[in-house]
């Protein structure tokens, strides 16, 4: 691929912040009263990078958790909100330096995520990153979250951009599917939590965000 990029859209969980391990813990806290616990392998394969509402529905349908998906999703969101009132998800390695490199190269940036708005707000506030991003699109902004392309299409609309020349950074199969369906290039950056996902649809798969930024800046 050889196209000059002028904007980068970042996923949140697993891409900007190292949050999936904490989400695994929170989900099992929510599920404990129902006599069910996810294994780490199940979480990695089925739920990492997937919006809370979709996870809740799958838990009921796949494992027969005796609760409505709506209640499970509400409990999980309440648990995450409580956690973020006293803590913040740590940044993934290289994030701050990568953002600085992209700013120096005058690339525009946004955040596009299947997470809820409160989670991204907590990250941007705790790490003082809000000034770096022109727009933030969360699950609260669209009817259909990832892997549907709606969130990416909304970001493009808000930024006045076409898909050509825009690249997404994603860490999961569902995120890659959303970006590609929106017509974007997509760099997959697998994590320990998403290493088993199928990244064959990605434009390129690289081991770190620093490598992703180098790849983006090398395209002319």
* Catalytic residue positions, numbered: 11
Side-chain half-sphere CA neighbours of 155 within 13 A: 33
Q: Rounded CA gap, 202 and 78, in Å?
A: 33
17 phi, psi to nearest 5 deg: -125, 150
* Angstrom distance (rounded) from CA 60 to CA 115: 20
- Tokens, residue 86: 């006293």
CA distance 46 to 110: 27
Please provide the distance, in angstroms rounded to a whole number, between the alpha carbons at the two ends of the chain.
9
Two tokens at 85?
Answer: 């009132």
Quote the CA–CA distance of 107 and 60 in Å, as a whole number. Answer: 42
Q: Is 151:112 a contact under the CB 8 Å cutoff?
A: yes
Here the contacts of 57-64 (C-beta below 8 Å, separation 24 or greater) are 59/31, 63/36
Residue 79 Cα to chain centre, angstroms: 19
């Amino acid at each position: 691929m050889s196209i000059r990029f002028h904007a980068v859209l970042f996923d949140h969980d697993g891409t900007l912040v190292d949050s999936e391990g904490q989400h695994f813990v929170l989900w099992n806290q929510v599920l404990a009263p129902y006599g069910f616990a996810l294994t780490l392998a199940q979480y990695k394969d089925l739920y990492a990078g997937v919006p809370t509402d979709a996870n809740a529905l799958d838990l009921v349908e796949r494992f027969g958790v005796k609760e409505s998906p709506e209640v499970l999703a509400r409990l999980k969101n309440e648990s995450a909100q409580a956690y973020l009132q006293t803590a913040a998800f740590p940044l993934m390695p290289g994030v701050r330096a990568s953002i600085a490199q992209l700013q120096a190269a005058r690339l525009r940036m946004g955040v596009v995520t299947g997470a809820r708005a409160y989670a991204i707000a907590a990250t941007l506030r705790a790490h003082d990153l809000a000034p770096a991003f022109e727009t933030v699109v969360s699950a609260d902004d669209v009817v259909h979250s990832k892997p549907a392309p709606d969130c990416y299409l909304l970001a493009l609309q808000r930024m006045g951009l076409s898909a050509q020349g825009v690249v997404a950074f994603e860490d999961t199969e569902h995120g890659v599917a959303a970006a590609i369906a929106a017509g974007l290039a997509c760099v997959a950056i697998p994590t320990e939590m998403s290493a088993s996902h199928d990244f064959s649809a990605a434009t390129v798969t690289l081991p770190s965000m620093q490598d992703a930024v180098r790849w983006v800046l090398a395209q002319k």
